[in-house]
């Protein structure tokens, strides 16, 4: 990709407006009107149910997860893997709807390559302890591949990186044109999100590290491993998606970061319940950033979206 916000040299961009004809060009491809209709319906579904998806679902999810960990739910409901997966998929809808129009052949290839990497590195991690440290899944997060890795792993992993990528584009503005600024910022944001996620997941007994760890039961090796995986994923998204298209979609699609709102609500609440002070504070910092960027579903404070500031 180029370093500016325009398309990479020789890479065609989408032409026309959202209603500008039966097809549209994406990376030299023609997108059929049937796909456009599905994307439009998904946009409408998310837009009409933003608060339910971004706030109610994660709030209810946090209550059910904590109740499961505390033994307050009967066996069929406690940590039910299909309920967990359903809740996660619903919370992912804003990000899926936001990114779907930008998935062309190049982006699809990047996602497939990243999926293979995610399964491979996670399987290696479970079997060998590298690169994250010795750990095991205690709770099945949906169907498990080879009894070791959640089949839905990309649904859990990709949003951490894509949300971080979008947030950095939003906050950095023109400075995000430089990969020397953009990519380290994305990796740092992913690590910050995992500083929230992992302690909460360990407290819920989603997974456990052999020997525990200094950071709320999480070892340093986990975060060293995340530097590797976050870098690989950030580069894959950077090369696979048209950054100018992402910025336009982020500007025009007010709900595109709602999945990050869900992350703040769910994992902020879980960490707060278990007394994990620093993860709760970091989750609050993400919430403050979203509030400052006017990314909530209600007018908390009037502001100009950061993506439009110069």
Does the residue 66 lie in any domain? yes
| pLDDT at residue 86 in the model | 94
Number of domains the chain contains: 1
Does the residue 112 lie in any domain? yes
Does the residue 104 lie in any domain? yes
Q: How far is CA 211 from CA 69, 155, 158, 304, in A?
A: 20, 28, 28, 48
Q: What distance in Å separates the CA atoms of residue 35 and residue 96, rounded to the nearest whole number?
A: 14
Predicted TM-score (pTM) of the model is 0.85
Helix (H) or strand (E) holding 18: none
| pLDDT at residue 33 in the model | 81
Q: What is the pLDDT along the chain (310 residues), one digit of tens a residue?
A: 334 444 443 344 443 444 334 455 555 566 678 999 999 999 999 999 999 999 999 999 999 999 999 999 998 999 999 999 999 999 999 999 999 999 999 999 999 999 999 999 999 999 999 999 999 999 988 888 888 899 999 999 999 999 999 999 998 989 999 999 999 999 999 999 999 999 999 999 999 999 899 999 999 999 999 999 999 999 999 999 999 999 999 999 999 999 999 999 999 999 999 999 999 999 999 998 888 777 775 544 444 444 444 4
Does the residue 17 lie in any domain? no
Does the residue 32 lie in any domain? no
**Tokens 């999810």 identify what position?**
61
**Tokens 């007018």 identify what position?**
299
How many other C-beta atoms are found inside a 10 Å radius of the C-beta of residue 309? 10
Residues 198, 274, 168, CA angle at the centre, nearest 5°? 40
127's torsion region: left (phi>0), alpha (psi -120 to 50) or beta? Answer: alpha
Instruction: Give the domain extent around 128.
Output: 48-308
Q: What is the CA radius of gyration of the chain?
A: 19
Does the residue 191 lie in any domain? yes
Does the residue 4 lie in any domain? no
Does the residue 6 lie in any domain? no
Q: Buried b vs exposed e over 94-117: b needs ≥16 C-beta within 10 Å?
A: bbbbbbebbbbebbeebbeebeeb
């Amino acid at each position: 990709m180029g370093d500016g916000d325009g398309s990479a040299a020789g890479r065609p961009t989408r032409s026309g407006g959202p209603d500008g004809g039966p097809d549209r060009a994406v990376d030299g491809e023609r997108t059929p009107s049937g796909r456009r209709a599905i994307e439009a319906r998904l946009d409408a579904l998310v837009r009409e149910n933003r608060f339910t998806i971004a706030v109610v679902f994660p709030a209810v999810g946090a209550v059910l997860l904590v109740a499961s960990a505390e033994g307050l739910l009967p066996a069929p409901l406690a940590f039910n893997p299909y309920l967990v997966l359903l809740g996660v998929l619903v919370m992912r809808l804003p990000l899926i709807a936001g990114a779907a129009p930008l998935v062309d052949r190049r982006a699809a290839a990047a996602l497939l390559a990243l999926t293979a990497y995610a399964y491979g590195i996670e399987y290696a991690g479970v079997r060998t302890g590298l690169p994250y440290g010795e750990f095991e899944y205690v709770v099945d997060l949906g169907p498990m591949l080879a009894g070791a890795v959640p089949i839905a792993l990309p649904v859990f992993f990709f949003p951490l990186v894509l949300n971080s990528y979008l947030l950095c584009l939003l906050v950095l503005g023109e400075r995000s044109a430089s990969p020397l600024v953009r990519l380290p910022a994305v990796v740092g944001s992913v690590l910050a999100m995992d500083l929230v996620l992992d302690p909460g997941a360990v407290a819920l007994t989603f997974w456990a590290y052999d020997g525990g760890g200094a950071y709320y039961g999480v070892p340093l090796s986990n975060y060293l491993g995340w530097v590797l995986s976050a870098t690989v994923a950030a580069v894959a998204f950077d090369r696979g998606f048209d950054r100018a298209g992402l910025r336009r979609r982020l500007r025009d699609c007010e709900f595109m970061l709602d999945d990050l709102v869900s992350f703040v609500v769910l994992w902020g609440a879980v960490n707060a319940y278990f007394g994990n002070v620093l993860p709760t504070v970091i989750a609050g910092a993400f919430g403050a950033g979203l509030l400052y960027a006017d990314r909530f579903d209600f007018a908390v404070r009037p502001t100009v979206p950061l993506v439009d500031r110069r």
